[in-house]
Amino acid sequence: MIDLIVNKTASLKNDLLSGLTVALALVPEAVAFAFVANVDPLVGLYAAFMVGLITSIFGGRPGMISGATGALAVVMVALVADHGVEYLFATVVLMGILQMLAGWMKLGKLIRMVPHPVMLGFVNGLAIVIFLAQLKQFGVKDDNAPSWLDGTFLEGSSIDVAWLQGTELYLMLGLVLLTMVIIYLMPKLTKAIPASLAAILVVSALVLGFDMPTKTVGDIASIGGGFPEFHIPSVPLNLETLKIILPYAVVLAAIGLIESLLTLRLIDEITETRGKGNKECFAQGLANTATGFFGGMGGCAMIGQSLINVNSGGRGRTSGIAAALFLLAFILFASEWIEQIPVAALIGVMFIVVIGTFEWASFRIMRKVPRHDAFVLVVVSVVTVVTDLAMAVFVGVILSALVFAWTSAKRVRVRRTEKDGKAFYTVRGPLFFGSTTHFAEQFSARTDLDEVYIDFEGSRVWDHSGIEVIDSLAMRYEKAGKKLHLLHLSPDCIKLLKRAGNLVEKNSAEDPRYFVADDELGG
């Protein structure tokens, strides 16, 4: 059952007002990301509306906002440039199908493999990306450069760009600062309406009332349009088309799911509730498939807008639905009014999001956590800014896995004692691919005593490499004519042993009950 309202009437009011705030913040973001992908602004706005609406209804994280994002837009640039926007729509449809398959296969639980340092790096990197994206609005082109509608400028490329100068710059900075001050002070006075919405309304009223010469949403693009229409992408339905769109669809699906699941996890921590990752994967896929058929560029969860929503009191599904419907209303009926909103007010809102998103505590804990965790945190932050989120998470997870394997490999210990002409070995620590070499080096079948006992009660065999090294050890002692006894191996480990299985001495009262390479128990 879909829970549209979390609690009582107050929750509905908060959801509606926070939804309006989010919708206002969505407009310049969706337009900017459309320019990045070199498509019409409405393509980005339609994506923000449809993805936001469908994920809010069917998603696994109430209060989380989805829409067109820069992480996806940068991947779309080459596809649109080489093959056109129709191939983009087809790719978005396929991307959605892949994401629905991921949800059906319950791959959402894989987000649990993301370590905390990677999560911190993701949050910090994304905060920096959001901050840098706002700085572009303080730039102007020279007289010979194209207009504000040029997507390459929004990409920050080689076009001649200069900062705003004199009165324009001071006015914009002043309005940004005023917006931030209102958002900071408003909750101390009243919480009747979201502070971000109040700041946008106050600053907009000042700009319009005093006819201040500052950049508005309308200077970026016109957002007026009609209702999105159903449209089957005009591409040949053949294997050649699939070869073109499949690589892009796979990358977009992966980036979309990673960003959505990490944002879900962040909102979980803030709200102290738990979202459903697999349900969110399916909803993201459903939203993107539908968006591809209605002329949208696709999307995923947006951390900035999600934080605006949660901090404004939007915790239920109604907040996301309201944001999407308000955005559609802007496109259909209120574009002239929305285009008069000063960009400075929206920048101020996003700067507050940056301050709230960045984990300032990470500076304090850098000296307290292990060096490798601090290194992973910094690397993920940098890679997020320099490349993209998906690459940053992949790099962070791989680094963390390698560090874990290295440190775990050093934990294996083998102690040897002799008694009554017999050798006794006690193994401590995990036995897996990283520790098998050190483990094997502790035994010398040629020089050892004739009867040897190896006790694995204090060890766990983690993978097939651990099984193989035990088998190899048994073969070495067999060739040397020595008698080997293996103690306290688990039943599943015994089953996998080839040569050493008959050397195991079973003791049902003492044998450990862990499992080799088991996904559920992690043994």
Structural contact between residues 21 and 341, judged by C-beta atoms closer than 8 angstroms:
no
Question: Does 308 have pLDDT greater than 70?
Answer: yes
For residue 156, what pLDDT is reported?
37
Q: Where are the alpha helices (DSSP H) in 387-449?
A: 389-409, 436-440
Q: What fold is seen in the domain 410-505?
A: Transcription Regulator spoIIAA (3.30.750)
Please choose, from the candidates 486, 500, 494, 502, the residue with its C-alpha nearest in 3D space to the C-alpha of residue 454: 486
Question: Does 157 have pLDDT greater than 60?
Answer: no
For residue 500, what pLDDT is reported?
63
For residue 508, what pLDDT is reported?
38
Mean pLDDT, range 486-498, rounded to an integer: 77
Question: Does 518 have pLDDT greater than 90?
Answer: no
| Tokens describing residue 302 | 């947006």
Furthest C-alpha separation in the chain = 99
Give the bridge partners for 486, in sequence order: 454, 504
How many other C-beta atoms lie within 10 A of the C-beta of residue 337?
13
pLDDT in tens, 102-154: 999 998 887 777 888 888 888 888 888 888 878 877 876 544 444 433 333 33
Distance, in Å, from the CA atom of 166 to the CA atom of 407, rounded to the nearest integer, reads 56
How many other C-beta atoms lie within 10 A of the C-beta of residue 215?
20
Find where tokens 């050397």 sit.
Answer: 503
Mean pLDDT, range 177-187, rounded to an integer: 93
Structural contact between residues 284 and 99, judged by C-beta atoms closer than 8 angstroms:
yes
Average of per-residue pLDDT values in the chain = 84
| Tokens describing residue 246 | 């499949």
Please choose, from the candidates 108, 385, 75, 70, the residue with its C-alpha nearest in 3D space to the C-alpha of residue 262: 108
Provide the residue type at 326 as one letter.
Answer: F
pLDDT in tens, 409-418: 878 899 999 9
Q: Higher-confidence residue: 293 or 369?
A: 293
What are the φ/ψ torsions at residue 518 (nearest 5 degrees)?
Answer: -95, 125
pLDDT in tens, 505-515: 654 334 455 44
Please choose, from the candidates 134, 123, 26, 137, the residue with its C-alpha nearest in 3D space to the C-alpha of residue 359: 123
For residue 171, what pLDDT is reported?
93
Domain range list for the chain: 9-357, 410-505
